[in-house]
Structure 1
Amino acid sequence: MADEAGARPGPEDERHRRGLKFRRREDYAVELFKEAEADLGNVQRVDRILLELGRFYNPYLDAPIVDLATRRAVMEALTRGDQATARQLLRERLDRYASTERRGPGAEGAD
């Protein structure tokens, strides 16, 4: 028993851990989208959230979860006071992210 406790994780364990980390990051990204949508009145906070989402990479799209063009469009809408457009842009990006995560690699071409 003592030997098992000190044993190094095998390759299967490492793959499992990486999967868990990815899953946590995915859930975190969804939570950030929800937080941004709930806090559209706080332009600085939404900007920070979008910056953070831009740091996460979506391998299925070969792009960040929130690209620079989307971030700019959301921020311009919020600066104009157009929360409806900002909300729509966030939802579209979240839907795109969530749908590629469900379908897997090559999903973007399936639309």
Structure 2
Amino acid sequence: MAGEGKRAGSRRAARPPRTFRPRLLLLAVGVTLAVVAWGYLVYAAIDFGASARSGDERAWLFLALASAGAIACLFLGLMMVARLLRGLGITAPPPSPESPVPSETADRTPPAPRPPGGRRAAR
């Protein structure tokens, strides 16, 4: 049986208790608002584009403003999603500047090949 023996124990550590983190809730609300604003601005840009093509000269300015606003909202929403994922522990932070650069590790010689058969065969 798996539950017997001197090393029988849980293979996983106990999960830490979940705590309420208002910063993550604020980020989730911000992402939601940015995506809703992006959708509205895209819809407005489409409407202004149709008006501009039918001859309304001022609609070109509103089309440009709505497009720039939609780009800004989408960028802001994606940045908040990245921070939210980092806060939830789904993504890891970038490597520190002290860690070796891949080009520096490529100059090292590779380790010697392992003997076939492993440790038991070497006995």
After TM superposition, the score normalised by the length of structure 1 is: 0.32
Greater relative CO, 1 or 2 (CA 8 Å, sep 6+) = 2
After TM superposition, the score normalised by the length of structure 2 is: 0.29
Name the larger-Rg structure.
2
